[in-house]
Amino acid sequence: MLIVRAPMRISFVGGGTDLPDFYRRSPGLVLSTAIDKYVYVAINRPPLVREVSARYSIGEMVDHPSMLKNDRIREALLDLGIHSNIEVATFTDVFVNAGLGSSSSFSVALMKGLYMSQGRRMDKREAAEAACRLEIDLVREPIGKQDQYASAFGGFNIYRFNPDESVDVIPLRLDYKRRLHFERHILVFFTGITRLASSVLAEQKAGTAKNFATLREMADSVLEFRDCLLRGEFEQLGRMLHATWMKKRTLASNVSNTALDAMYNAGMEHGAWGGKVLGAGGGGCILFIAPLEQHAAIREALRGVAHAHGLGRFNEVPVRFVQSGVEVLVNGDSTHRVIPS
């Protein structure tokens, strides 16, 4: 048995510029951090069970991986030539489709785990590249590359997506005090609305040409966001997020909706410096940067809005930033075997 986990992420600025329609014309830039919410993947190779088993929100057991409904597990197994005697199960800390990049965290953990099950080790970059290939080339999701890299690498980084498909990872070296102070100023709520990132991104992708100027401004704002973060100017960071969110809302008709707008406005009216809906938009989690003394009022206001809209699964998501990316928790290879000479 192998157990691998990969962190989810909070993306602050530059989302959307990691789509090929943008970065092939002009380099994309995204600033994000990994958080202490994880997707776990367990992989077992039972010697006496020939079937292929996948356990996630449902359970599947089939004779050949090509029969699996779960597209990521199906394509990964077919690609690696694993056709029998395998169980893949996943566990997650937060609902999927919450805007925390969990689908890609799953792909990163899955690829690292499947490679390991074949006795091959992957470093962070290899895991990120393998997950991108799985999701974009094999499963043909209309998504970008930021989530796979954020999950594989961990920590606070700027990702630069180059026209030649290469990705530069530029770390932000925040000392513990700056990191913890920033963490304390952040509020994250699960809105209770879930959506498929691909549904929002499909429309956004179709509009990339039309939105090119807006996306370019978003990419440009990444370096300014970094400088404010390194200086600890949290109020300014909030104001920047607010300005960016106002622009992002215009990228696709389904990036926001009435309930989301009501929640965002409630946060702003109760003293937040700024915020955004996380991930592609349309639902999932909402983030605010706010002065500490306003946190209680913002919590209360959002709870009220969620109640009024009948969003029973609304909840606060306490987050901490983490430095470690994808990691092997249990390596069943440690059971003894004689290595053939």
Partner 1 sequence: MEEYIQNFSQHVIAALSDLPKEEIAKALDILQATYERDGRIYVFGNGGSLALATHWVSDFNKTVFSHHLDKHSRRFQAIRLPTTEEELTAWANDVGFDMVFAGPLHNYIQDSDTVIAISSSGNSPNVIKAVELARRYKIPVIGLSGFDGGGLDPLADAKIRIPSEKGQYELVESVHGVILHLMTKYFKDYFDYLAEQA
Relative to beta strand 86-92, strand 52-55 is parallel
First to last CA, the chain: 25
Q: Does 328 bind partner 1 (CB under 8 A)?
A: yes
- The distance of closest approach from Cβ of residue 222 to partner 1 in the complex, given in angstroms and rounded to an integer, is 20
* Burial of residue 274, with CB atoms counted within 10 A of its CB: 0-12 exposed, 13-18 middle, 19 or more buried: buried
Q: Does 331 bind partner 1 (CB under 8 A)?
A: yes
Q: Footprint of partner 1 on residues 107-146 (CB under 8 A)?
A: 116, 121-123
Count of residues interacting with partner 1 (CB under 8 A): 21
Q: Does 180 bind partner 1 (CB under 8 A)?
A: yes
Answer yes or no: are the C-beta atoms of 195 and 284 closer than 8 Å.
yes
d(CA 329, CA 332): 10
What's the one-letter identity of residue 254? N
Q: Is the dihedral of CA 126, 29, 15, 176 positive or negative?
A: positive
| Given 58, 166, 173, 341, the residue binding partner 1 (CB under 8 A) | 173
| Given 177, 210, 336, 337, the residue binding partner 1 (CB under 8 A) | 177
**Extended beta strands in 126-255, E state:** 156-161, 167-171, 186-190
Helices (H), 24-154: 71-80, 102-117, 124-132, 146-153
- The distance of closest approach from Cβ of residue 151 to partner 1 in the complex, given in angstroms and rounded to an integer, is 13
69 vs 121, which CB is nearer to partner 1? 121
Longest dimension (CA), the chain: 70
173 vs 336, which CB is nearer to partner 1? 173
Q: Does 324 bind partner 1 (CB under 8 A)?
A: yes
- The distance of closest approach from Cβ of residue 134 to partner 1 in the complex, given in angstroms and rounded to an integer, is 19
Answer yes or no: are the C-beta atoms of 319 and 183 closer than 8 Å.
yes
- The distance of closest approach from Cβ of residue 337 to partner 1 in the complex, given in angstroms and rounded to an integer, is 15
| Given 154, 207, 238, 274, the residue binding partner 1 (CB under 8 A) | 154
| Given 171, 269, 313, 318, the residue binding partner 1 (CB under 8 A) | 171
- The distance of closest approach from Cβ of residue 4 to partner 1 in the complex, given in angstroms and rounded to an integer, is 9
- The distance of closest approach from Cβ of residue 138 to partner 1 in the complex, given in angstroms and rounded to an integer, is 23
234 vs 314, which CB is nearer to partner 1? 234
15 vs 155, which CB is nearer to partner 1? 155
Relative to beta strand 156-161, strand 28-44 is antiparallel
* Sheet arrangement for strand 285-289: 274-277, 285-289, 186-190, 315-316
- Residues in contact with partner 1 by the rule CB under 8 A: 116, 121-123, 154-155, 171, 173, 175-177, 180, 322-325, 327-329, 331, 334
